[in-house]
Amino acid sequence: MKITGIETAVMGTPWRDLTFVRVTTDDGLSGVGETRMLGHTEALRGYLAEAVPRHVVGADPFDIESLVQRMKRGDYGRPGEIVMSGIACVEMACWDIIGKALGQPVWRLLGGKVRDRVKAYANGWYTVERTPEEFHAAARRVVERGYRALKFDPFGPGMWELEPAERTRSIALVEAVRDAVGPDVEILVEMHGRFALGEAVRIARGLAEFDPGWLEEPVPPENLKALAKVAGQVSAPVATGERVHERAEFRELFELQAADVVQPDIGHLGGILETRKLAATAETHFVLVAPHNVGGPVLTAANLHLAACTPNFTIQEHFNDFADEHVKQAAPGLPPVEDGYFTLPTAPGLGVELDTDFVAEHPFQAARFDLFAENWQFRGARAGTGL
């Protein structure tokens, strides 16, 4: 079997553009992959236009290791987010082809399952005013839908430090969410790399009584020693990793014991197998894996296959029940979240099929998502979001 070409299609929303890749073969089988870029969608398509004829066409989709190494090293330049995202789309699609060719779901080809279901946490649910009353009501809607975990960023457009009144307001939002969901639902606090080291620690101590499941990116991701210093001064687990795009770059994170949970994005780290290798390294450091996922149904499916076979997996991010729920129609077949869990996909390959007509009905919008703009939490649903 040989790869004969790829097609790309981009589905747009006001705050995210989802890039789908379909890889075709001379046997008539095809596979799909997906990633979500932040402001670099055209750059990704440009990279694929160059890389596919050079590295992909003519390759055997079963030879994933060879293909990934060729795309990663064959151009000599050091790969970053765009290259690793391009690799991820193609790699995912190859796994989809292999599973279809063998009549097996991808997780069976990666070592088999270690769990029968995958715990999910909701994101994108707080498209409301930043008041305790609004956050309380929105959080109640999440648990009423069956979720037992949810994540949110209560800090508005905050950067580096918060004024005392704004710090009090942000902490009050976390208090409201904890009150809404009760003690047995996990609340995960997203900090989006906003804060200086001392401010991150101060905020974390203010949140401690509400028992957050983790603090995500309390400081910008570039300085792992600063992250380690935060981790040494707070009681909650620290999570990070969505903006690390090369497996080797996690080495220092593990050596410094700077995080309790790593959050690689399959769509940016080079695909399913690269992320599985990272998870195995994390396991040797007793670190949990909770993949970052702002993608649609194809990328979410890839995450479920990884979760199925990864012993130190803990929980899966999911936007699509609360933000742009219609994107699930772009690739039917994904199991729904029921009582807070996904069941495992059982169809061959990734278990979803791309609907290119539906994608075409929602064209590329060159979405701009600014986490430091006022009212960004509305995710383009109203004016004044900075989008």
* Residues belonging to the active site: 192, 292
| DSSP conformation letters of 46-111 | HHHHHHIIIIITT--TT-HHHHHHHHHHTT-SPP-HHHHHHHHHHHHHHHHHHHHHHTSBHHHHTT
The encoded tokens of residue 89 equal: 């789309």
The encoded tokens of residue 272 equal: 């399913």
Roughly how many angstroms between the first and final C-alpha of the chain, as a whole number?
44
Pick from 151, 148, 245, 143: which is nearest to 191 by CA? 151
Burial class of residue 2 (count of CB atoms within 10 Å of its CB; 0-12, 13-18, 19+): exposed
User: Reduced to 3 DSSP states, what percent helix, strand and coil does the chain have, rounded to the nearest 5?
Assistant: 40, 15, 45
E strand map for the chain: 3-12, 17-25, 30-37, 117-122, 149-152, 186-190, 214-216, 238-240, 261-262, 288-289, 316-318, 337-338, 341-343
- Give the Å distances, CA to CA, from 238 to 70, 203, 262: 34, 13, 9
List phi, psi (to 5°) of 40. -125, 25
Other C-beta atoms closer than 10 Å to the C-beta of 313 total 22
| DSSP conformation letters of 2-55 | -EEEEEEEEEE-SS-EEEEEEEEETTS-EEEEEEEESS-HHHHHHHHHHHIIII
Amino acid letter at 80? Answer: G
